Amino acid sequence: MLRATFKSLLSRKARLLLSGIAVILGVTFISGSLVLNASLGKSVESMFSTVFDDVDVQVTAEADGASPYGEIAPIPESVVAEIDAVDGVSETTGLVQDGTGLVRVVGKNGKVPPMMGAPTIGQNWTGTGGALELRDGRGPEADGEIVVNETLADATGYEIGDTIPILTLAPEPVEYEVVGIAGYSGARGSIAGEQSIWFTLDTARSVLMTTPDSYTNIMVDADPGVGVNELRDRLADALGGDYTVQTGAELAEEQSTAFQSILSFFNYLLLGFGAVALIVSVFLIVNTFSIIVAQRTRELALFRAMGASRGQVTGSVLLEAFVIGLFSAVIGFALGIGVGYLGTTLLAGTAGESLDATLEIPLSAALAAVGVGIGVTMIAAILPAINASRIPPIAALRDAAATVRPVRWFAIIGGLMLVAGGGLLWAGLSGGLGDGDNRLLGILGATGLLFIGAAIFTPVLAKPLVSAIGRLVSFSLPGKLGRRNSARNPRRTAITASALMIGIALVTTVGVLLSSAQASMAKFFDENVSADILIAGAQTGMHPPTFSPEVLTETRDLPDVNQVVGIYADTTRLDGQDMTVYAVDDLAAYVDLLGDKVSDGDVAGFGADDIALYPSQAEQFGVDVGDSVDVSFSAAEEPVTLTVAVILDADMDGLPVVSADHADAFTLSSPAQAFVQLNDGADKGDVIEEINGLLDSNPEVSAADMSAFTDQITQIFDVILLVVQILLGLAIFIAIIGVVNTLTLSVLERTRELGLLRAIGMTRGQVTRMVTVESVVISLFGSLLGLGIGAGLGIAVQQALKDDFVDVLAMPWGTMAFYLVAAVVIGVLAAMIPAYRANRLNVLNAISHE
């Protein structure tokens, strides 16, 4: 029996290879994701160990009271003397450093280029040493001089002697002269692809910090013979709990770990889409083995007649599945290693020359390849194997390959799940599950039941729907034969179509949700925001672009402008809790232009001693109009007490609002946004042009139509949908292979039938049309199922989120139409190989085939 099994495998290499391709692709996706994650992690770990290789110990202040935009808490200059007094300290170096995107270089075209990858780092010049080298020129000596690294010089084209406009805390750029170009050992222009600028100490303090005479971190060198861990412990004891003391190795590990968390999320995302691809693979494998078992009915019956037990027959089919799974696991794992390393190389190339791609093959990738490759194939082959063992010996005396089994169990199980899912969905939408998380979880559970139930129920729908679809695409006798071929085995057709249905259903569900969110966002702006023009810049780092407050005054003076409100932003400590707040120069205009309502209080007398809250914040702090709250602004030495003067109300709660009188105590003391409302009949284009003229000195900020702003926000949903479509493309591709595989095996199954058709006069072109119609019908069936199920599930989830801002139902008709047309194209392309094989059949041999 073992020899017979292997001979059977070797005689069906082509058809089994097709099913193996699906598993190979799934294994490649899963193992490649794990290799990519491990390799990137190893590469980043190596990079950070290089960055902190020359660091013995670093001292930083605790983060309490730090800037909302990532500015490190200041260390007073007096702390340096305390560190110098610690036994074992050889040298201390105070640094003023910011890598949060606060420093922005204005290019030669007068604009700030968008930040891609590593940020621009601003710091004080402490001289060369360690890995830092001065390639040309000298260090900065005057306040108007800077040194830049080679990466920045190459990217911007600035050279020694040039003047560079640079934006920092001030809303307008300041010009500095380049007096030197630096690099790093190993002929590197940067450490991690960053662009670095070195100022004098006084300049760095003035442009990067809000606290004078302080540092952001202090580097400490150990005396010879003193271990870095020992020095760290001594410094920690001497400085107390207000400061964090870390060795270079600990800093490298900390940075690497932080990066790993980002990689883990990315990896989980890829693994999720890989799981979808594997589920689709299961449908394909089940179908392949079911067809093969049906084609081998007489062969397996002869084994039974010769004495083979049911267990031996089952074991024979499962052994074939094991061999295919092992083969797929090995090939998929090898391809996964290649894909993972290629992805690592491409991503490392975007981070500069210091991030070298390192191949790391984790054990989890190998185990996943084996588990997924063999496990998925074996699980998918269980039902066909059991069916094979049930073939009676008498079947050897008759042709039973075309026997169609009933679908009543599919109807019963699928129907029960559909009823249960529908009932749970009705309970959720009608309020039977209550409110909040229980309702949302119930509706999500219902959509899951409906999705699975629909997949199981598909064979029941196959025959009537396939016949109906076939009548639309079959206009000749070959077409009618193709339609009947697709309907003759509902289970096979349904399983093939289900593989395509899964991918399209998921894309459609996401499309409905994103289209609804997009429409809800547009509705919110249309109904609530009465501003005509937005003044703002694209935020590329942790610091939003700002502009001069004078622009607000000059804009108000324009003849066609009715109202203007400027918005400043900062994170403060409000009654002991960190919270971002807005400061506005006109609360009445803020409420009017943004569509908020006044629930309690009066905006007319809103002043410097007042604060406006939204209901959720008032409840959070347990205050009402007339009560007081303590607010600590980031650049203020002492907290202030403000009175709750207004309770605002809106469809979505905004941020607490204070008077612009407090903006001087913000990290960024200039407005980041402004909303402008025009007089009736004003020419919006002319006003926008006038405001942009006022912003000539600011290379980051511009005025634009509010509709352009809303379009920019809603376009994010289009990007998300595109990413989902690309990642689900693998599942759809596997589904296409399933159609090809099913049709190819179907052609082999109908060899004699095709020979007879050719013998009575059917041409090769007619054979091609027959197979193409069959393929198109299956593809359309799967696509229509996917669109219907996806639309239904998307609508259900949108209704569940109706009270959470997604209150408008919008259907992605364009995407749905695309997939409907794509189904026809997929059907035509998938028919090419089976049709070619059908046309290659020798007529006489086909007629005599058994």
| 661 pLDDT tier (thresholds 50, 70, 90) | very high
Residue partners of 560: CB distance under 8 A and separation at least 6: 678, 679, 682, 683, 686, 687
Residue 8 scores a pLDDT above 70: no
Task: Give tens-digit pLDDT for 407-428.
Answer: 677 788 888 888 888 888 788 7
Selected residue with higher pLDDT from 287 and 81: 81
Task: Give, for 245, the enclosing helix (H) or strand (E).
Answer: strand 243-247
- Kindly state the average pLDDT of the residues 793-822: 84
3-state SS assignment for residue 404: coil
Selected residue with higher pLDDT from 745 and 779: 779
| 177 pLDDT tier (thresholds 50, 70, 90) | very high
Identify the residue whose tokens are 């919110």.
524
Task: Give tens-digit pLDDT for 38-54.
Answer: 887 777 776 666 667 77
Alpha helices in 656-705 (DSSP H): 684-694
Residues 579 and 618: their CA atoms lie apart, in Å, by 13
Residue partners of 654: CB distance under 8 A and separation at least 6: 582, 594, 596, 614, 648
Query: Which of 136-140, 273-277, 725-729 is predicted least confidently?
Result: 273-277
Query: What is the distance of C-alpha 220 from the center of its chain?
Result: 40
Residues 105 and 113: their CA atoms lie apart, in Å, by 8
Residues 368 and 362: their CA atoms lie apart, in Å, by 10
Output DSSP code: residue 445. Answer: H
Q: Tokens for 551? A: 């622009």
Output DSSP code: residue 646. Answer: E
Dihedral sign (CA 409, 411, 417, 423): negative
CA dist 343 to 114, 349, 359, Å? 24, 10, 10
pLDDT value of position 455: 76
Task: Give tens-digit pLDDT for 440-452.
Answer: 677 778 877 887 8
Residues 531 and 562: their CA atoms lie apart, in Å, by 10
Cross-strand pairs, 629: 642
Identify the residue whose tokens are 């889409």.
273
735: phi then psi, degrees, rounded to nearest 5: -65, -35
Query: Which of 147-151, 584-588, 616-620, 721-725 is predicted least confidently?
Result: 721-725
Query: What is the distance of C-alpha 779 from the center of its chain?
Result: 29
Selected residue with higher pLDDT from 14 and 165: 165
Task: Give tens-digit pLDDT for 466-513.
Answer: 778 877 777 777 778 877 777 777 777 777 787 788 888 888 888 898
Torsion-angle region of 561 (φ positive above 0: left; ψ -120 to 50: alpha; else: beta)? beta
Residue 775 scores a pLDDT above 50: yes
Contact 84, 189 (CB under 8 A): no
Contact 749, 411 (CB under 8 A): no
Identify the residue whose tokens are 């695409």.
473
pLDDT value of position 180: 95
Candidate ranges 145-149, 470-474, 520-524, 732-736; pick with highest mean pLDDT: 145-149
pLDDT value of position 401: 44
| 400 pLDDT tier (thresholds 50, 70, 90) | very low
pLDDT value of position 11: 64
Residues 292 and 301: their CA atoms lie apart, in Å, by 14
pLDDT value of position 435: 65
pLDDT value of position 294: 66
| 296 pLDDT tier (thresholds 50, 70, 90) | low
3-state SS assignment for residue 667: coil
Residue partners of 772: CB distance under 8 A and separation at least 6: 482, 827, 828, 831, 835
Candidate ranges 307-316, 423-432, 687-696; pick with highest mean pLDDT: 687-696
168: phi then psi, degrees, rounded to nearest 5: -135, -120
Number of residues written out for the chain: 850
Query: Which of 138-147, 475-484, 672-681, 690-699 is predicted least confidently?
Result: 475-484
3-state SS assignment for residue 547: coil
pLDDT value of position 610: 93
Residues 537 and 670: their CA atoms lie apart, in Å, by 13
- Kindly state the average pLDDT of the residues 349-359: 64
CA angle (728 as vertex; 722, 731 as ends), nearest 5? 155
3-state SS assignment for residue 551: helix
Identify the residue whose tokens are 């096979």.
492
Residue 712 scores a pLDDT above 80: no
> Which pTM was predicted?
0.70
Question: For the stretch 746-771, what's the b/e string if a residue is b when 16 or more beta carbons lie within 10 angstroms of its beta carbon?
Answer: bbbbbbbbbbebbeeebeeebbbbbb
Exposed, middle or buried, 825 (CB in 10 Å: 0-12/13-18/19+)?
Answer: exposed
Contact 734, 281 (CB under 8 A): yes
Residue 402 scores a pLDDT above 70: no
- Kindly state the average pLDDT of the residues 26-34: 82
Candidate ranges 24-28, 222-226, 795-799; pick with highest mean pLDDT: 222-226
Residue partners of 688: CB distance under 8 A and separation at least 6: 533, 703, 704, 705
pLDDT value of position 474: 74
Question: For the stretch 134-157, what's the b/e string if a residue is b when 16 or more beta carbons lie within 10 angstroms of its beta carbon?
Answer: eeebebbeebebbbbbbbbbebbe
pLDDT value of position 678: 93
Identify the residue whose tokens are 């005689």.
11
Residues 30 and 271: their CA atoms lie apart, in Å, by 6
pLDDT value of position 555: 94
Residue partners of 18: CB distance under 8 A and separation at least 6: 288, 737, 740, 741, 744
Alpha helices in 728-802 (DSSP H): 729-749, 751-759, 764-800
| 69 pLDDT tier (thresholds 50, 70, 90) | very low
Query: Which of 298-302, 504-508, 535-539, 678-682 is predicted least confidently?
Result: 298-302
Residues 676 and 690: their CA atoms lie apart, in Å, by 13
pLDDT value of position 396: 54
Residue 605 scores a pLDDT above 60: yes
DSSP assignment of 126-183: --SBTTEEEEEE----STTEEEEEHHHHHHH---TT-EEEEESSSSS-EEEEEEEEEE
Angle between helix axes 764-800 and 408-429 (nearest 10 degrees) is: 30
Q: Compute the mean pLDDT over every residue in the chain, rounded to the nearest whole number.
A: 81
Q: Tokens for 750? A: 């109908």
